[in-house]
Amino acid sequence: MTHTLRRLMPLLLAAALVPLTALPSAGSDADFYHNPLKPQIPNDGVVTSCADPTVLRGQREGDRNWYMYCTTDPLNDGDTAGDGPINFHPIPMMRSRDLVNWTYVGDALPNPPEYADTGAGLWAPDVVYSKTYDRYYLTFVVTNTDQSVSGVDCQNDSAIGVATSRSPLGPWRVSEIPVIPPRHDPNSTDPCAFFWTYDPDVLGDTVNALPLLYYGSYYGGIFAQRVALTPRTMTPAGDATRIAIGNRYEGANVVRRGDWFYLFVSASNCCNGPLTGYSVFAGRSKSPLGPFVDREGNSFLQGRVGGTPVLSMNGNRWVGTGHNSVFRDFDGQWWTIYHAVDRHDPYFESEPGFTKRPALLDPIDWVNGFPTVRGNRWASDKRMPAPAAQPGEESLYQPDVLGKDRMAHPLFRLSDNFKSGTMSRLWEWVRQPDPAEYEFGNERFKFLTQPKDLFTDSNNASVLTEPTPNRDYMVQTKVKLPVPEEGCCHNYAQAGLVIYDGDDKFIKLAHVSIWETRQTEFAKEVPRRSRGIPPVRQHGNRPSRRLDLPADRQAAHGAPERQDRGVLHRLQQPGR
């Protein structure tokens, strides 16, 4: 899925973020693995892209295999090389005995549903098994439905489809109607304003007659819906319940652990090459219908939307870590398979801008009741102990939770408490604003937000800078952005910190208003790439697939912002 980013940055303040050290690399043997997973294509290479992976162990008696299903995409560079058309595989299927060594065994849906419009994509599969009907149920996204389904000729009227089979590898019989049809935004007069009906996930591996289906994305939010099964299809049963606010999350996967249900979701841009910022967050609830809250008690339904980080970038080659599938091995250890982007090999051959997303495998640890991948170390790029994929096996993985970065002594010579009524000699403006727009004194720096931008070719926002230390460092500060706690639309008023090396080379961390939400956003911009590769920008916590803003919402509101006193510290980092 390749989508367009649109950005308005009214305010940036100079400071710093924390760099992370890279992970070493190592070999592997029978009891170990090394990311990425490389499913074998019989007599034809390996699978190097498996986006939105979902994993299921065979549910019928005697089936010892694990199965993995991926979004429609090319399998590898061989499907894109040359001048001919790209070879897309509609929901590739893989099989494995050990969760490490996989084999590609074909495509689930060579023929799309009759209600799919010409050229529609089939995305984000999920598979579960019903003992009642002795059937596997494959749910998937249809990105564009026929006019006979949605009632209009649009290109974004997505739906959730279903297919059934007695085998986890098909053949699959596709239902004649979608499970969840296109949903028009009731607050819009645009006939083509449809909520994004993406990313199905059915709770559990073996389901009863009324399982729970999760679906949704940035535009519209995420919902839970009871569905009724028949041997050939599934249909809604009752009303849907919203479990996550819009403009924040997608790719839901819900699992039960003890008395808690855990919602894993992904945020930001899925497919932006080496600067993809996709990441995984989690919340938990006593009910599968929510409300889900994060480690700090923040709800997924509030404007200041919750989400405990589970998996993100850590400084090695893997970025864009997201859309995960969570499961337990036979030793009780929790694992996740997810897609990521190799920033050194981000695109399919002959297709600059078309992002490859191989599948990765890593263990999940539980710290104070919340999940984190690999003890807060996140995506691995070294030899790792393999899962216990079969009964009687033991996993060699031993949790080793990474501690927090520690602050050493303060760097007072580079810190400012803003007591003085004038700007200290530490600071220097890039594009100094009108003096009436900012103020120093009373232990704070006050700055009116600007209806201006710092994004690709639109660089007119003011930036206040100071020199950075030569060693690793941490910035401690307090930022206040007085927009309402929730509600539309202060797009995209924000306040925060930036490591600034130019208008097209910076990293920033900010609190930002995005439609009805208030989010913490990490972003990175680099200069334009050569050889036809488009300019790239990374967003850590920002929805990327939101529709472009209407013209009357592109200017930020003029609410003032305050930055209270801050101190720079030397940084001491535990080993990663």
- Looking at the fold, whether 269 and 329 belong to one and the same domain comes out as yes
Tokens encoding 1: 């899925």
pLDDT tens-digit map of 30-76: 799 999 999 999 998 999 999 999 999 999 999 999 999 999 999 99
Strand partners, 350: none
The residue written with tokens 């894993």 in the block is: 264
The answer to whether residue 453 is domain-embedded is yes
- Looking at the fold, whether 130 and 211 belong to one and the same domain comes out as yes
Report which of 72, 370, 323, 338 is spatially closest to residue 217, judged by C-alpha positions: 323
Report which of 458, 456, 461, 459 is spatially closest to residue 528, judged by C-alpha positions: 456
Measure the CA–CA gap between 77 and 559, rounded to whole angstroms: 49
Q: In the prediction, which pLDDT does 315 show?
A: 93
The answer to whether residue 8 is domain-embedded is no
Measure the CA–CA gap between 63 and 340, rounded to whole angstroms: 29
- Looking at the fold, whether 257 and 310 belong to one and the same domain comes out as yes
Q: Give the DSSP per-residue string, 440-468.
A: EETTEEEEE--S--EETTEE---EEE-PP
The answer to whether residue 31 is domain-embedded is no
Question: What's the number of CA atoms in the CB half-sphere (13 Å) around residue 370?
Answer: 18
In degrees and rounded to multiples of 5, residue 69 shows phi and psi of -130, 145
Rg (the chain; Cα; Å): 24
Looking at residue 351, its amino acid is: E
Looking at residue 31, its amino acid is: D
Residues with Cβ < 8 Å from 575, sequence gap 6 or more? Answer: none
Indicate which CATH number applies to the domain containing 116.
Answer: 2.115.10.20
The pairing of beta strand 406-410 with beta strand 560-572: antiparallel
- Looking at the fold, whether 446 and 344 belong to one and the same domain comes out as no
Report which of 141, 108, 138 is spatially closest to residue 126, judged by C-alpha positions: 138
- Looking at the fold, whether 385 and 411 belong to one and the same domain comes out as no
The answer to whether residue 10 is domain-embedded is no
Measure the CA–CA gap between 45 and 121, rounded to whole angstroms: 25
| CA geometry: angle 221, 222, 226, nearest 5 deg | 140
Find out whether 205 and 128 touch, Cβ atoms under 8 Å.
yes
Mapping DSSP onto H, E and C, the string for 189-225 reads CCCCCECCCCCCEECCCEECCCCEEEEEECCCEEEEE
- Looking at the fold, whether 421 and 379 belong to one and the same domain comes out as no
Q: In the prediction, which pLDDT does 570 show?
A: 54
- Looking at the fold, whether 334 and 432 belong to one and the same domain comes out as no
Q: In the prediction, which pLDDT does 546 show?
A: 29
Q: Based on the structure, what is the number of domains in the chain?
A: 2
Find out whether 273 and 353 touch, Cβ atoms under 8 Å.
yes
Task: Tell me the C-alpha to C-alpha distance, in Å, between residue 64 and each of 59, 61, 477.
Answer: 9, 8, 54
The pairing of beta strand 506-514 with beta strand 384-385: unpaired
Find out whether 501 and 527 touch, Cβ atoms under 8 Å.
no
Count Cβ atoms below 10 Å from residue 436 Cβ, excluding itself.
7
Answer whether the bond into residue 171 is a cis peptide, omega within 30°: yes
Of the three residues 322, 357, 392, the one that is the final residue of a domain is 392
Of the three residues 359, 392, 425, the one that is the final residue of a domain is 392
Maximal C-alpha separation, the chain: 77
- Looking at the fold, whether 232 and 271 belong to one and the same domain comes out as yes
The answer to whether residue 16 is domain-embedded is no
Q: Is 270 left (phi over 0), alpha (psi -120 to 50) or beta?
A: alpha
The answer to whether residue 63 is domain-embedded is yes
Classified as helix, coil or strand, 551 is helix
Strand partners, 138: 127, 163
Per-residue pLDDT of the chain (576 residues), as tens digits, is 434 333 333 333 333 333 333 333 333 367 999 999 999 999 989 999 999 999 999 999 999 999 999 999 999 999 999 888 999 999 999 999 999 999 999 999 999 999 999 999 999 999 999 999 999 999 999 999 999 999 999 999 999 999 999 999 999 999 999 999 999 999 999 999 999 999 999 999 999 999 999 999 999 999 999 999 999 999 999 999 999 999 999 999 999 999 999 999 999 999 999 999 999 999 999 999 999 999 999 999 999 999 999 999 999 999 999 999 999 999 999 999 999 999 999 999 999 899 999 999 999 999 999 999 999 999 999 999 999 999 999 999 999 999 888 888 889 989 999 999 999 999 999 999 999 999 999 999 999 989 998 888 889 999 999 999 888 888 888 899 889 988 888 988 999 999 999 999 999 999 999 999 999 988 889 886 644 455 444 544 433 332 222 222 222 222 223 233 345 655 554 443
Question: What's the number of CA atoms in the CB half-sphere (13 Å) around residue 5?
Answer: 28
- Looking at the fold, whether 374 and 519 belong to one and the same domain comes out as no
- Looking at the fold, whether 75 and 220 belong to one and the same domain comes out as yes
In degrees and rounded to multiples of 5, residue 274 shows phi and psi of -70, -10
Q: What is the pTM of this model?
A: 0.88
Indicate which CATH number applies to the domain containing 540.
Answer: 2.60.120
**N-term to C-term CA, the chain:** 32
Measure the CA–CA gap between 47 and 92, rounded to whole angstroms: 10
Measure the CA–CA gap between 37 and 79, rounded to whole angstroms: 18
How many helices (H) does the chain have, and how many strands (E)? 1, 38
Report which of 172, 52, 195 is spatially closest to residue 112, judged by C-alpha positions: 172
Report which of 220, 238, 266, 231 is spatially closest to residue 124, judged by C-alpha positions: 266
The answer to whether residue 2 is domain-embedded is no
The answer to whether residue 271 is domain-embedded is yes
- Looking at the fold, whether 55 and 191 belong to one and the same domain comes out as yes
Residue 444 domain boundaries: 407-572
- Helix H segments across 55-160? 147-150
Mapping DSSP onto H, E and C, the string for 350-412 reads CCCCCECCCEEEEEEEEECCEEEEHHHCCCCCCCEECCCCCCCCCCCCCCCCCCCCEEEEECH
Report which of 168, 178, 175 is spatially closest to residue 205, judged by C-alpha positions: 168
- Looking at the fold, whether 214 and 280 belong to one and the same domain comes out as yes
